[in-house]
Amino acid sequence: MLGPVILAASRSDKMRRFISAAPGTKQVVDRFIAGETVDQVVPVIQDAAGKGLEVTLDVVGEDITTPEQAAAARDAYLELIGRLKELGLGTRAEMSVKLSMFGQSLEGGHELALANVRPVVEAAAEIGTTVTLDAEDHTTLDSMFAIHEELRKDFPQTGCVIQSYLFRTEEDARRLAAAGSRVRLVKGAYKEPASVAYQDKAEIDKAYVRVLRILMQGEGYPMIGSHDPRLIAIGQELARQAGRKLDEYEFQMLYGIRSDEHVRLAAEGHRMRVYTAYGTDWYGYFMRRLAEKPANLLFFARSVVTK
Ligand code: FDA
């Protein structure tokens, strides 16, 4: 019940101002956001590497309103890639990007987002790593998949995300499960209407299994993005049935969520990548994390009240 209300609040400027200014917010935000600057996230990557974990880095931000902000987003990723190169961390870290932050929703946004993301994908390839295009709300996906296809002509390792809550996803998975593709499957974190998405958790989970089976039986590289213990066990079983070796798929989880499980799966020999978000524009990302687990909201409310 609370999830949709929190997701609606994630689009409100008034709530953004209120929550950003509330005392106690930072303490809760810090659980999910690894820092504000590149300098603050570097030790987090190094710590993850020390535990046998890989990362995918997200410079948080979305819903930008000017082409200058889109260019600044591109530059923030280029700065990050420059630091990874200096530190020799390119092989441990890939990038995750939201095309909305690169200008997708502005006028001429499809071309603008492609023009802004291309240099990031190029720079990532130069240091031996890659970029995954996050999936945002369903209205953005045709553009995201077209940009993904375009980028793959020159950078075939570019990944993308699909969401099991959407009716369209099984078909997308069939098209994407081809040799050389990298596809992260998640349940989906946006408020979507019943005309395009399952609303019931059990239906979303069943769809996740159907889509994961398609990816595992295909020829691409599946990335299992979930903290759900049942789906993680099913993922291992589907990989086994498809005859995949441990380096032919990976698990991915979010920074700050089920951290013991990150280490446990890595210790079992699985490739585990932690989606590590950092930056100052954390509001949208943070609100989706609250919506996923309403208990987080209680914790948040308590920390605000007790400050
Ligand atoms: P589920 O929500 O059922 O959670 C299973 C268990 O995990 C919970 O019982 C709880 O213990 C723990 N948990 C999950 N979320 C938590 C939270 N916020 N706080 C505390 N505990 C939590 N979505 C999207 O639409 N587009 C995208 O591009 C991405 N990208 C992405 C990358 C990666 C690596 C992950 C793991 C997830 C995403 N997501 C996403 C988010 C995804 O769609 C989904 O909302 C969350 O992963 C929560 O779903 P679970 O599969 O974890 O299951």
226 lines ligand 1 (CB under 6 A): yes
Strand 182-186 with 159-163, pairing: parallel
Q: Give me the mean pLDDT over the 7-11 stretch.
A: 84
What digits encode the pLDDT tens for the residues 38-75? 999 999 999 999 999 999 999 998 879 999 999 999 99
pLDDT bucket at 9, cuts 50 / 70 / 90: confident
Q: How far apart are CA 114 and CA 35, in angstroms?
A: 27
Does a structural domain hold residue 42? Answer: no
Q: How far apart are CA 63 and CA 99, in angstroms?
A: 10
- Cα(164) to ligand 1 centroid in Å equals 12
Q: How far apart are CA 12 and CA 201, in angstroms?
A: 25
Assess whether 191 and 270 both reside in one domain. Answer: yes
Q: Which of 270, 173, 266 is nearest to 216 (CA)?
A: 173
Q: Give me the mean pLDDT over the 11-35 stretch.
A: 86
Assess whether 170 and 294 both reside in one domain. Answer: no
pLDDT above 70 (res 4): yes
Does a structural domain hold residue 99? Answer: yes
- Cα(275) to ligand 1 centroid in Å equals 11
Q: How far apart are CA 111 and CA 104, in angstroms?
A: 8
pLDDT above 90 (res 306): no
Q: Which of ligand 1's atoms lies nearest the C-alpha of 165?
A: 43
- Exposed, middle or buried by CB within 10 Å (0-12, 13-18, 19+), for 260? exposed
**What's the mean pLDDT when you consider all of the chain?**
94
pLDDT above 90 (res 187): yes
Q: Which residue's C-alpha comes closest to atom 37 of ligand 1?
A: 225
Does a structural domain hold residue 44? Answer: no
What digits encode the pLDDT tens for the residues 272-291? 999 999 999 999 999 999 99
- Cα(131) to ligand 1 centroid in Å equals 20
163 lines ligand 1 (CB under 6 A): yes
Q: What are phi and psi of 194, to 5 degrees?
A: -65, -15
Q: How many domains in the chain?
A: 2
Assess whether 17 and 137 both reside in one domain. Answer: no
pLDDT above 70 (res 262): yes
Hey, which bits of the chain come out as E strands? 54-59, 93-97, 131-133, 159-163, 182-186, 221-225, 250-254, 272-278
Assess whether 21 and 61 both reside in one domain. Answer: no
Assess whether 258 and 297 both reside in one domain. Answer: no
Assess whether 190 and 306 both reside in one domain. Answer: no
Range of the domain at 26: 1-33+286-307
Percent of the chain with pLDDT strictly greater than 70:
98
Percent of the chain with pLDDT strictly greater than 90:
81
Q: Which of ligand 1's atoms lies nearest the C-alpha of 252?
A: 34
Q: Which of ligand 1's atoms lies nearest the C-alpha of 190?
A: 25
- Cα(227) to ligand 1 centroid in Å equals 6
What digits encode the pLDDT tens for the residues 188-230? 999 999 999 999 999 999 999 999 999 999 999 999 999 999 9
pLDDT bucket at 103, cuts 50 / 70 / 90: very high
Q: Which of 29, 83, 22 is nearest to 60 (CA)?
A: 29
Q: What is the per-residue pLDDT for 8?
A: 85
Assess whether 101 and 130 both reside in one domain. Answer: yes
Active site residues: 134, 184
* 91 or 93: which leads in pLDDT: 93
Task: Provide the CATH number for the domain around residue 81.
Answer: 3.20.20.220
250 lines ligand 1 (CB under 6 A): no
Q: Which of 195, 160, 207, 200 is nearest to 180 (CA)?
A: 160
Assess whether 210 and 250 both reside in one domain. Answer: yes
Q: How far apart are CA 214 and CA 52, in angstroms?
A: 28
Q: Which of ligand 1's atoms lies nearest the C-alpha of 226?
A: 51
What digits encode the pLDDT tens for the residues 117-132? 999 999 999 999 999 9
Does a structural domain hold residue 47? Answer: no
- Exposed, middle or buried by CB within 10 Å (0-12, 13-18, 19+), for 224? buried
Assess whether 199 and 296 both reside in one domain. Answer: no
Please check whether residue 97 is in contact with residue 134, taking contact to mean a CB–CB distance below 8 angstroms. yes
16 lines ligand 1 (CB under 6 A): no
User: Binding site: residue ranges?
Assistant: 98, 163, 187-189, 201, 226-227, 288-289
Q: What is the per-residue pLDDT for 299?
A: 77
Q: What is the per-residue pLDDT for 1?
A: 65
User: Binding site for substrate: residue ranges?
Assistant: 98, 288-289
Q: Give me the mean pLDDT over the 17-46 stretch.
A: 89
Total Cβ atoms within 10 A of residue 199:
11
